[in-house]
Amino acid sequence: PTRGPSVEAALVGKELTDENIAAATDLIDGDLGSDILGDIFASAEYRRAMAAIELKHAVFHATGLAHH
């Protein structure tokens, strides 16, 4: 697990709207730095893209804003 300090900062004190969550999750790439590596299963670029998608899903589910 990796924390995303800029993502956290972008969400603290904000209304958790779709737009604010999407804007905050766009910041995860900068927080990951070089922590994401590629291998035979997935490239680093793919994993970076999936990190943003999974983070967005996690926040939506944690806040009860999940789309059904």
Going by C-beta distance under 8 Å and a sequence separation of 6 or more, which residues neighbour residue 14?
Answer: 20, 24
The four Cα atoms 45, 42, 11, 21 give a dihedral, to 10 degrees, of 90
pTM: 0.75
**Residue 66: is its pLDDT beyond 60?**
yes
Give a yes or no: residue 9 inside a domain: yes
Average pLDDT of the chain to the nearest whole number: 87
Spatial CA neighbour of 24 closest among 3, 9, 38, 36:
9
Give a yes or no: residue 36 inside a domain: yes
Q: Which domain holds residue 34?
A: 5-63
Q: Dihedrals φ, ψ of 35, to 5°? A: -70, -20
pLDDT of residue 64: 80
Give a yes or no: residue 68 inside a domain: no
Give a yes or no: residue 12 inside a domain: yes
Sign of CA dihedral 36, 41, 46, 52: negative
Work out how many domains the chain is built from and give that number: 1
